[in-house]
């Protein structure tokens, strides 16, 4: 039996989903070369030593993330999520999924979590609950269902963004909360990526 090793991080928060374009300053116009008067001997050196600096390493630990052991997690804002999606074809495709002609997270209640591990993970397991008021007149907090999502492997210090999608109508104003993330170091025996929403039965 393969021993499972995992680290868990629990977050009890909810996310919500315009991308930012960074201004690019125009390159300065090249300066005209100085004009030289006739002389018996003029030497012009065309060689210039260029020193290349290595790219700075990503900041670690990442800003705004909560940690538990090797695992780091953060609930992105809507603005951060859209910005991340603009650089991720996978996340863009997920958000663009249509349900009855409507984008999936404009039809169903969704959540999201950003995850990273100091040592990397062979796969991620994320669990969450869909909660809201019991009814229009009863404000008691009630759990309407649970979400279990499995995500792909990540390298050490690599940040991944995982969507948590329910199958409950957004109009009900239920929220994704009580998010927990498990970083696995063993081989996965289930389909990855995958996601299952299980409604609570009365």
pLDDT tens-digit readout, 10-65 = 554 433 333 333 233 333 444 444 443 444 443 444 454 555 555 556 688 788 99
pTM of structure:
0.71
Backbone φ and ψ of 89, nearest 5°: -65, -30
179 by Cβ neighbours in 10 Å (0-12 / 13-18 / 19+) ranks as: buried
Q: How far apart are CA 127 and CA 149, in angstroms?
A: 6
Angle at 198 between CA 195 and CA 202, to 5 degrees: 175
Q: Which residue has the tokens 């009365």?
A: 202
pLDDT at 201: 84
Mean pLDDT is lowest, of 20-24, 98-102, 142-146, 177-181, for 20-24
Helices (H) and strands (E) in the chain, counts: 3, 11
Show me where the domains of the chain are located. 6-16+64-199
pLDDT at 174: 94
Q: Which of 188, 198, 103, 176 is nearest to 150 (CA)?
A: 188
Write b or e for each residue in 106-120: b if 16 or more Cβ atoms lie within 10 A of its Cβ, otherwise e: ebbbbbbbbbbbeee
């Amino acid at each position: 039996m393969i021993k499972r090793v995992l680290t868990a991080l629990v977050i009890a928060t909810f996310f919500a989903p315009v991308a930012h374009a960074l201004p690019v300053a125009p390159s300065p116009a090249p300066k005209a070369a100085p004009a030289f008067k006739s002389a018996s001997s003029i030497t012009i050196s065309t060689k210039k030593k260029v020193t290349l600096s290595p790219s700075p390493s990503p900041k670690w630990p990442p800003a705004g993330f909560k940690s538990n052991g090797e695992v780091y997690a953060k609930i992105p804002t809507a603005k951060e999520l859209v910005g991340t999606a603009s650089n991720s074809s996978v996340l863009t495709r997920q958000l663009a999924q249509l349900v009855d002609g409507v984008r999936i997270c404009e039809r169903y209640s969704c959540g999201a979590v950003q995850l990273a591990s100091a040592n990397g993970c062979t796969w991620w397991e994320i669990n969450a609950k869909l909660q809201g008021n019991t009814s229009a007149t009863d404000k008691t907090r009630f759990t309407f269902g649970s979400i279990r999502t499995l995500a792909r492997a990540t390298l050490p210090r690599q940040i991944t963004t995982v969507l948590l999608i329910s199958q409950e109508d957004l109009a009900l104003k239920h929220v994704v909360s009580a998010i927990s993330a498990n970083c696995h170091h063993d081989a996965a025996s289930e389909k990855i990526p995958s996601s299952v929403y299980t409604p609570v039965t009365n």
